[in-house]
A and B are shown apart, each in its own frame.
Chain A
Amino acid sequence: MEQRTPTLRNVAWLWFAISVAVLVVGFREAIFLVPTDAAQGDVGRIFYYHVPIAMWSLLFPYLNFAASLAYLYWRNRNPLKALTADAFALASAEVAVVYTSITLITGSIWGRAAWGIWWAWDARLTSLLLLWLLYVSYLMLRRFSSTGQTQTLAAVLSVFAAVDVPIVYMSIRWWRTQHPAPVFGGGPNSGMDPSMLPAFFWNLAGWGIWGIFILLFRFALERRRQLADQEAALQAIEASLEIPQ
């Protein structure tokens, strides 16, 4: 079994402490310091959670795709490296599902307050929902497929999902649009009032650091599981080699 060095453990604790500290600052900024939105009232404060998490939720599928490609590349060349890539793919897919779920839920709460409805079949909402469905189906495949095949099949499905995402994005955008225009680069009136920036960036940083923390934590956990499996397999082989007395 691989030993966790004390340094690594200290770094992990430090990282955790930093993420909590940044999130606390972000909470104070978003809830107490930012002036109340003139048009939306206090409901608008959910923006500081919804948008940063939505932005990060788009990053993790890329990590999953990259790790899956790495797995497919190393599968026959270097199986141990391939296993590491697979653990990373699994961890990033799970974090992607968590972040997209939070985005969908916070968006839904905001939609109820601002639009009067929990859900609308609008372009951005629908494409994010489809992204969420794709990665849930990825996790389903990992759960259902038989051992020994799981990693390869999941990596192939990840490639399919990654190819599907831009198609989904284009076709849904072509279908309809109702969501508020993108805050950045969405036209002449986009961008934020300077008073909103600190709260936004503290939360963006905080949720990024937190996301990377849970990603690496889950990755370490999966690596330990893989190593324990290898150990068990090795012991089984050794036991079968012993001559019965």
Chain B
Amino acid sequence: MKSLLQYGVHVLNHLRKDLRIEWRSRDAINGMLFFALLVVVVFGLTFDPAGYPTTTRQISGGILWVALLFACITALNQSWTREQRNQVLEAQRMAPSPASALFLGKAIANMLFVLVVEAVLAPIFIVFFNLHALGNIWLLALILPLGTWALVVNGTFFAALGLRARNRELLLPLLLLPISLPALLAMVQATTGVLTADLDPIQITTWIKQLVGYDIIFTTICILFFETVLNAE
């Protein structure tokens, strides 16, 4: 019990550090936000969403997640680079705190950044795409965080995995996308189901359950293998 509490304190310390660094620069959030906005605008120009409300409802779940996914990738690439400056990462490897606490702290920090981006982006998205959801919109408050965690937990892990690779920026999407595809399928289906009200509520619940299962499984193996990856040499 005491060791669990201590672990929590370590995670919290890492989280505080990451939040403080981000607060001082605000690079990740600003970059992600503008990038996601650009993707939404590009899709808006290609599809004329205001003219075809039914089609818009069918495709906008996918567009929202694609925009967030690409924005996540741009920010996640940077999240470990910060630790490389001045050999901070080497110091972290020697620190007495467990390696997975470092990982969890950073994953939670990234999660918070993406949630901020979502909170700003969602109203803009609704206005630009003239969206009028037909289903239970409050379900999105469950789907968005679950889907975001699925992207962020694996993304943070693979960003650390590719840290010393050649072509680091290219490697992250190459690894993250194939692993995330089932989660992406679940979150897009659930979101589209809520927007169009075409899906049975039972089906939406099943997609959400799959998402929860995916989150639990991959969070566990990320925590199990992070130390191996951090000290892979």
Q: Does A175 contact B (CB under 8 A)?
A: yes
Check A172 against B182 for contact (C-beta < 8 Å).
yes
Check B210 against A160 for contact (C-beta < 8 Å).
no
Interface segment among B35-43, B65-73, B159-167: the answer is: B159-167
Check B233 against A137 for contact (C-beta < 8 Å).
no
* Bound CA–CA A156/B233 (angstroms): 13
* Bound CA–CA A152/B161 (angstroms): 10
Check B164 against A149 for contact (C-beta < 8 Å).
yes
Q: In B156-211, which residues have CB < 8 Å from any A CB?
A: 161-162, 164-167, 170-171, 174-175, 177-179, 181-182, 185-186, 189, 206, 210
Q: Does A130 contact B (CB under 8 A)?
A: yes
* Residues in B neighbouring A22, C-beta threshold 8 A: none
Check B181 against A168 for contact (C-beta < 8 Å).
yes
Q: Does A5 contact B (CB under 8 A)?
A: no
**Contact A141 to B171, CB < 8 A, known contacts A152-B228, A164-B179:** yes
Closest to A149 in B: B232
Q: In B212-232, which residues have CB < 8 Å from any A CB?
A: 213-214, 217-218, 221, 225, 228-229, 232
* Residues in A neighbouring B174, C-beta threshold 8 A: 137, 140-141, 144
Closest to A168 in B: B182
Q: Does A235 contact B (CB under 8 A)?
A: no
**Contact A145 to B162, CB < 8 A, known contacts A153-B229, A153-B232, A172-B185:** yes
* Residues in B neighbouring A146, C-beta threshold 8 A: 164-166
Q: Does A174 contact B (CB under 8 A)?
A: yes
Is chain B's interface secondary structure helix, strand, loop, or mixed overall?
helix
* Residues in A neighbouring B232, C-beta threshold 8 A: 149, 152-153, 156
Check B228 against A141 for contact (C-beta < 8 Å).
no
**Contact A164 to B221, CB < 8 A, known contacts A137-B175, A140-B174, A149-B233:** no
* Bound CA–CA A148/B166 (angstroms): 13
CB distance from A157 to the nearest CB of B (A): 7
Check B175 against A157 for contact (C-beta < 8 Å).
yes
Check A174 against B161 for contact (C-beta < 8 Å).
no
Is chain A's interface secondary structure helix, strand, loop, or mixed overall?
helix
CB distance from A200 to the nearest CB of B (A): 32
Tally chain A residues at the interface, Cβ within 8 Å. Answer: 29
Q: A72, A134, A149: which has the most chain B beta carbons within 10 Å?
A: A149
Q: Does A113 contact B (CB under 8 A)?
A: no
* Residues in B neighbouring A199, C-beta threshold 8 A: none
Q: Does A58 contact B (CB under 8 A)?
A: no
Closest to A75 in B: B228
Of B177, B185, B217, B229, which contacts A156 at CB under 8 A? B229
* Residues in B neighbouring A174, C-beta threshold 8 A: 206, 210
* Bound CA–CA A175/B210 (angstroms): 12
Check B221 against A163 for contact (C-beta < 8 Å).
yes
* Residues in A neighbouring B165, C-beta threshold 8 A: 141, 144-146, 149
A144-B166, A160-B218 given; name 11 further pairs at CB < 8 Å: A146-B164, A146-B165, A146-B166, A153-B161, A153-B232, A156-B225, A160-B221, A161-B178, A163-B218, A168-B182, A174-B210
- Sample 30 A-B pairs with CB under 8 A, ordered by A number: A130-B181, A133-B177, A134-B178, A136-B178, A137-B175, A137-B178, A140-B171, A144-B166, A144-B167, A145-B165, A146-B166, A149-B164, A149-B165, A149-B233, A152-B229, A153-B161, A156-B161, A157-B175, A159-B225, A160-B221, A161-B178, A163-B217, A163-B218, A164-B182, A167-B210, A167-B214, A168-B181, A171-B186, A172-B185, A174-B206
A interface residues (Cβ-Cβ under 8 A, vs B): 72, 130, 133-134, 136-137, 140-141, 144-146, 148-149, 152-153, 156-157, 159-161, 163-164, 167-168, 170-172, 174-175
